Amino acid sequence: MLGTSFSSAQVPNNADGKPSCPVDHARLADILKKSVRPAGGPSNGGLDNNEWAAVVNRDGIVCAVAFSGNKADDQWPGSRAIAAEKANTANAFSLANKAMATANLYAQSQPGGYLFGAALSSPPNAAALYSGQPAQYGTSQDPLVGQPLGGVIAFGGGLALYDSNGPAGGLGVSGDSACADHNVAWRVRHLLGLDHVPAGVNPNMKDAIIYDIGPDGKSTSGFGHPKCDGKEDQIAVDLGAGVQGNAVR
């Protein structure tokens, strides 16, 4: 999943030629719309932008891409790729016994951290990223579907997916602040029923975002993420998607 060599060919897993996927496009799009402010859902906590969402299966193959707006450019065009890379990252760094959100990778990916350089370890598959027609982006025919995109993102918005049998892939959300993306992803995963998370980097809230980076830039837990400029941190706590400072043990 983290290699740098990719094939541009489709990678079907099912008899119908489509990759196996824990959620189909229509359900992902519907739940994403219900999870963001511009489409009638609750506040993201940040800019309240429309969002992209992408899902990879356990093999790291992109299998669903959707957006919450009425058309593709109702949300940041660049966030389509980031959403898919977040999904890849969360899936790639999560195991059957422990989930790792992309937000949990932030602190140790900084200079001096033991994950410094991780974001460069799996360059995105450019052939997949720029394939197809823009009119297909975010639809059930998105050209990323069936492709291994790769990419590693070390800020909020990516969560591993777990069904009742264990790891099922990864979800990435992008289009707002990284903190708001995490909140929206948490809502989407819960509504998909794919949040059977066994454990995470903190015992009380599993793969929640941890806001424990102090004035010195250091994370008390080692898995912290900086706060953003809005109300994202309070919304995260209300959702059960975030941990404030000393709440982590």
State the Cα angle at 127 between 126 and 131, rounded to 5°.
110
Q: Pairing relation of β-strands 209-211 and 242-244?
A: parallel
- Using DSSP's 3-state secondary structure scheme, residue 127 falls into helix
Alpha carbon 182 to its chain's center: 7
What does the block give as tokens for 105? 């990778």
pLDDT recorded at residue 202: 81
- Take residue 161 and report the two structure tokens written for it: 């997916």
Whole-angstrom distance, CA of residue 34 vs CA of residue 158: 18
Q: What is the pLDDT, as a whole number, of residue 15?
A: 54
What would the pLDDT profile of 179-200 be if each residue is shown by its tens digit? Answer: 999 999 999 999 999 999 999 9
Q: What is the CATH number of domain 25-247?
A: 3.30.450.150
Indicate the average pLDDT of the chain: 91
Banded pLDDT at 119 (limits 50, 70, 90):
confident
Higher pLDDT, 245 or 10: 245
For 87-103, what is the mean pLDDT? 97
Q: At what angle do helices 178-192 and 25-34 cross, to 10 degrees?
A: 120
Element (H, E) at 54: strand 52-56
Domain ranges of the chain: 25-247
Q: Which amino acid is at 73?
A: D
Looking at residue 191, its pLDDT comes to 98
**pLDDT score recorded for residue 17:** 67
How many angstroms separate the CA atoms of 50 and 75, rounded? Answer: 5
Mean pLDDT of 33-57: 97
What phi and psi values does residue 211 have, to the nearest 5 degrees? -95, 80
- Which tens digits make up the pLDDT trace of 61-72? 999 999 999 999
Check residue 205 and give its pLDDT.
80
Percentage of residues of the chain with pLDDT beyond 70: 91
- Report how far residue 97's alpha carbon sits from residue 168's, in angstroms, rounded to the nearest whole number: 13
Kindly give, in sequence order, each residue whose CB lies less than 8 Å from that of residue 73, ignoring residues fewer than 6 positions away.
none
Chain-centroid distance, C-alpha 113: 22
